Every structure is written in C-alpha cells, then in structure tokens.
Structure 1
Amino acid sequence: MSPTEPVRKGAVRKGDAVKSRMAVSMLELIQRQGYAGTGLNAVLEHAGAPKGSLYFHFPGGKEQLGVQAIALAADQFTALIRECLTTDPATELGEAIESAIDALAELMAASDYTLGCPVSVVTLEMGNASEALRTACTDAYDSWAALVEEFLVARKVAPAEAKLLGSAAVSLIEGALIISRARRSPRPLRDAGASLRSLAGAAATPKESR
C-alpha cells in the first residue's frame, strides 16, 4: 500500500526532529569536551538517535555534523546579540553593550565556566585541518560582526568605523570568553565590555566634539 500524504509529511517532520537533535547534541558536546573529543557514538547516544540515522542525515559524517552545529551556535548567539543590541535608536549605546556582556557572563557563570563559545573551540582545534569547519566558523564570526556594525551605523557611526569596531568587538569578546573560562571569573568579559563601551562611545561622538 502506498503511503498517504499525511504519513509522508509526518515522516519528514520526524526526520527533521532527529536531525535537529543530533546537531544540538553535537553542539553541547563540543562545548563540554571539544570537537576532537566528541565521538559520533556519543552524539547518537546523547541525541537518542538510531545509529543508521547519522549518515542518512549527515552523509559527510562528523565534519558535516560539526558544520551544522556551528551554524546552530551562530544562530543562537545571533539571537542573543539581536536581543541586546537592538537597532532602536532610543536605546543608549553603553546600556546595550553592557546588556550583551551581562548576558554572556551569566551564561558562563551558570555553566560553572565549563561552557564557552563553541565556534572558538572548533576554530582552535580544526581551523587548519578542515576547510569546511574553518569556513563555517568564519561565517559565524562575520555574522556577529555585521550585527554590531548594523547597531553602530544606526547610531550615526560612520560605516567604515562601524565595520572596524564590529570586527574588534567580536575579537575582544571571543578572547575575553576564553580568559574568563581560564580564570573562572567574569572580570575579563567585564573589562572587554568597558573597552568596547569606550571605543563605541568615542566613535559615536561627532569629530568636532572630540
């Protein structure tokens, strides 16, 4: 008997759910134990997925699953940045930056400093070993820098300066996340936030007023 249309749709939804769970599990395990330390059997067990589903959804194996996990991390951090760095011109510049830093500090403290940015983890481990993973990490960083750039341009910062500061902001925060984990303290993140607040405030000040 041929499957009916509702059954086919249900099967697609179930398959998508399994694929999504595997990406979420891969991301969580990368954060805890790194990319190299994350085995595919551990991902399947964590996701509660059947063994045959891995290469069905990710024919490229671990690398493809890693790329999907990085894309998921990029989306999650993008949502966090968008929530904090609203483009509403009424939001004070320093307040928005402080809000973003507070959110990141709370996430790290809640994990007892065991979780950091999974994109930086993969970059450090696999940046020279996998072009697909390196590209996925680059795309994530670029997307976050673009959001900061958009936020600054909305506050009358010159586009060229906003682009430079967007890149600097991502570099500062990514480095601060690593040092915060090493020190088990939010202080490096707070310091990065204070520096960003100062840089962004100076950029938003008309040149004739400086």
Structure 2
Amino acid sequence: MASKGDLTKARLAASMLELIQTSGYSGTGLNAVTEHAAAPKGSIYFHFPDGKEGLGVAAVDLAATQFETLILEAAASAGSAAEAARAAIEALTTIVGDSDFRLGCPVSVVTLEMGAESERLRQACASAFESWIAPTAALLEANGVDAAGARSLATVVVSTIEGAVIVSRAMRSTAPLVSAADVVADLIDQRCQTVGGTR
C-alpha cells in the first residue's frame, strides 16, 4: 500500500501534468500545483528537491506511462495493427474534444517550451516519445513488418498523432485527428498487406 508521502508525490505529479496541458510549462507556477493537488506548500521541495524541473520530469514520465498504457490496451483489444492505431487515436480524440480542446499532449508542450532550455526535460520528452514508438513498432513487427520498416513507420505514426493533436486544438475541431486516424490506419494496412501481414 502506498504511503501518505507517496500519494502526495503522485498527486503533485498528476496536478503538474494537468496544469501543463492547460497553462503550459512556463505558465504553471509551483503555488498553483500545490493548490491544485491540495498539498502542503513545502511538499514540492520535499518530494522534488530540484523543484519545478524535477516535477516537470515526473509529469512527463506520467504522461508517457498513460499514453503507453493506452497504446498497449488498444493493441490488446484490436484485431490488427491498423485497428489498434485507430482505437488509440479515437481515444485521444475523445480526450481532446471532451476537454473543450484544453487538453492535448503535455510532452509536446514541454518539448516546444523547454527542449532548448533544459537538457533534462528534453531527455524526458525524448524518452516519452520513445516509449510510444517502441510498442507501436513491436505491434507492426507482429503484423509482419520488418524491424527497420516497423521502427520507421511507428515514428511516422506517433509524429502524425502529435501533429494532429496540436492542429485540432488550434482549430478547435477534432477533424484533424479524425483524418489522422483514417490516414494512419490506411498506411498501416497498406504496409502490412505489402509484406503479407494480416489486416
């Protein structure tokens, strides 16, 4: 069972994650995080001695885990790689739309804001993207795509999804994500058919 301290640390990371999505990394102050998490004011530096940067890394790691879980669940329930990709994108589309386009991908937000300012945050973001590319590539390999081709296509898929989330938020429309789901699913289907994989 998690200790009270562990629960507070997890709440702080979750609050930082949510606030990054709505206010950006630079726009998220530590006081706002403690207030959102209903945590004591001194708790951030107790759990994250390096302050905001450490908390930001924890938030990015949490986002990475959440989306990786979404990918793995989609892969487990879908009949093909194309269906899995579509299911994952549809889940993201629901999140973005239901939040009135306030929520998107916090990893892309941190990358754009802090990638050139903090090597530690850049590395956390790179690891997050890798944690999504790797299981996507594994799924493609399981559908008959060679390792190099699977890695390349998985990178394109994740990059397409990230871009579609940003464009959807800018346009306040889920259409870019819907289009991305169609194009990504067709692309995966074509690649799997070419190598003799299953639909």
Q: Which residue in 1 is equivalent to 2:37?
A: 47
Q: Which residue in 1 is equivalent to 2:75?
A: 85
Matches within 5 A, 1:13-52: 13-52=3-42
Matches within 5 A, 1:122-161: 122-161=110-149
Q: Which residue in 1 is equivalent to 2:56?
A: 66
Alpha-carbon offset, residue 192 of structure 1: 1.4
In the alignment, the residues of structure 2 paired with residue 151 and residue 208 of structure 1 have an alpha-carbon distance, to the nearest angstrom, of: 15
Unmatched segments (≥5 aa) in structure 1: 1-9
TM-score (norm 1): 0.89
The worse-fitting range, judged by mean Cα deviation, of 196-205 and 155-164 is 196-205
Unmatched segments (≥5 aa) in structure 2: none
Q: Which residue in 1 is equivalent to 2:164?
A: 176
Deviations 1:3-28 (A, max 9, x none): xxxxxxx9x70110111110011001
State, as a whole percentage, how many aligned pairs show the same letter: 53
In the alignment, the residues of structure 2 paired with residue 110 and residue 206 of structure 1 have an alpha-carbon distance, to the nearest angstrom, of: 37
Counterpart residue identity of residue 106, structure 2: P
CA RMSD, Structure 1 to Structure 2 (Å): 1.8
* Residue among 138, 148, 151 paired with 1:163: 151
TM-score (norm 2): 0.94
Larger Rg: 1
Does the CA-based 8 Å contact 2:144-2:195 persist in structure 1? Answer: no
2:66 equivalent to 1:76: yes
In the alignment, the residues of structure 2 paired with residue 36 and residue 124 of structure 1 have an alpha-carbon distance, to the nearest angstrom, of: 11
* Residue among 178, 187, 191 paired with 2:179: 191
In the alignment, the residues of structure 2 paired with residue 129 and residue 92 of structure 1 have an alpha-carbon distance, to the nearest angstrom, of: 40
Q: Which residue in 2 is equivalent to 1:101?
A: 89
The worse-fitting range, judged by mean Cα deviation, of 184-193 and 106-115 is 184-193
- Number of matched pairs: 197
Deviations 1:141-193 (A, max 9, x none): 01100111011111111111100011001100000000001111111112112
Does the CA-based 8 Å contact 2:137-2:150 persist in structure 1? Answer: yes
